[in-house]
């Protein structure tokens, strides 16, 4: 988090606060084309299980409107719409809708590729894509039923401001879900995870994405992110109720949630 002298963490490095947004943008501009491939390689595919578990917890309903922040290539939005469509097929009602917002044009562009069999209408091309900063989003107040952010909140310069934006944009009764890498409570697992992260992920990023340094930052940024209880307190401070969290894979990742009431 921010320092009294105006600096902020960028991985293990302290930089001027006003530089973080552009530095983070540079990281994701660099890795956008290989982002999904790297996620599979780094997590051995388990990030897909975490995201499926997240969407199960969200329980998408017909007619709901999702805004996915730092949504990149749109994998959460696609899962959300598929689940909502299944519920609509069973019970009727209106179609759900989804917007993916990301500060990186490159990430949004990488998600536009339609791989769903070439059909005229697909889940992917139903998603609206908007470039926006999580701290100052271009959406009306009380317009979303669900807001999500997956593996993105740790890269936001002012997380408190972003959480307040999420609260503003949600309708009364709306719900927020934040999936993020976290700190395993078990010391042995934490040691194994740290060893794997620093020894394997940056070199893998160099091999597959041609950018070892960006993945070094991503590994370091996880270690600077608040622990589960501290981040839950931040969500409460932004105004949310019914705040909770669930660790995945022993706390390597954690799903946080809160309701606007």
Give the least confident one: 119-123, 149-153, 223-227.
119-123
pLDDT at residue 27 above 80?
no
The helix/strand/coil state of 93 is coil
What was the pLDDT predicted at 4?
Answer: 43
pLDDT at residue 119 above 60?
no
Under the banding of pLDDT at 50, 70 and 90, the label for residue 33 is low
Q: How many angstroms separate the CA atoms of 132 and 179, rounded? A: 19
- Gyration radius from the chain CA atoms: 18
| Mean pLDDT, range 135-151, rounded to an integer | 97
> Number of helices and strands (H, E) in the chain?
9, 9
The whole-chain average pLDDT of the chain stands at: 89
| Mean pLDDT, range 183-187, rounded to an integer | 94
Give the least confident one: 27-36, 165-174, 244-253.
27-36
Q: How many angstroms separate the CA atoms of 41 and 247, rounded? A: 21
Helix residue ranges, H only, 112-244: 159-169, 187-208, 212-224, 228-237
Q: How many angstroms separate the CA atoms of 102 and 71, rounded? A: 6
Under the banding of pLDDT at 50, 70 and 90, the label for residue 1 is very low
Cβ–Cβ < 8 Å for 253, 230: no
């Amino acid at each position: 988090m921010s320092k009294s002298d105006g600096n902020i963490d960028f991985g293990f490095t302290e930089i001027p606060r006003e530089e973080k947004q552009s530095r983070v943008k540079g990281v994701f501009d660099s890795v956008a084309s290989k982002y999904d491939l790297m996620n599979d390689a780094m997590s051995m595919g388990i990030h897909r299980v975490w995201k499926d578990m997240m969407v199960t917890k969200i329980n998408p309903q017909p007619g709901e409107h999702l805004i996915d922040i730092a949504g990149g290539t749109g994998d959460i939005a696609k899962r959300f719409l598929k689940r909502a469509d299944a519920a609509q097929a069973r019970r009727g009602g209106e179609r759900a809708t989804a917007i993916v917002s990301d500060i990186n044009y490159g990430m949004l562009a990488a998600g536009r590729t339609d791989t769903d069999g070439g059909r005229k209408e697909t889940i992917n091309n139903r998603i609206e894509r908007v470039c926006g900063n999580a701290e100052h989003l271009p959406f009306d107040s009380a317009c979303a039923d669900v807001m999500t952010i997956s593996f993105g909140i740790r890269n936001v310069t002012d997380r408190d401001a972003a959480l307040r934006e999420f609260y503003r944009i949600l309708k009364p009764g709306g719900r927020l879900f934040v999936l993020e890498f976290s700190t395993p409570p078990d010391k042995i697992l934490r040691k194994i995870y740290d060893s794997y992260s620093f020894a394997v992920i940056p070199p893998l990023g160099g091999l597959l994405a041609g950018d070892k340094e960006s993945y070094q930052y991503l590994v370091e940024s996880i270690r600077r992110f608040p622990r589960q209880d501290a981040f839950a307190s931040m969500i409460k401070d932004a105004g949310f109720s019914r705040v909770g969290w669930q660790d995945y894979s022993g706390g390597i990742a954690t799903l946080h949630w809160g309701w606007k009431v």
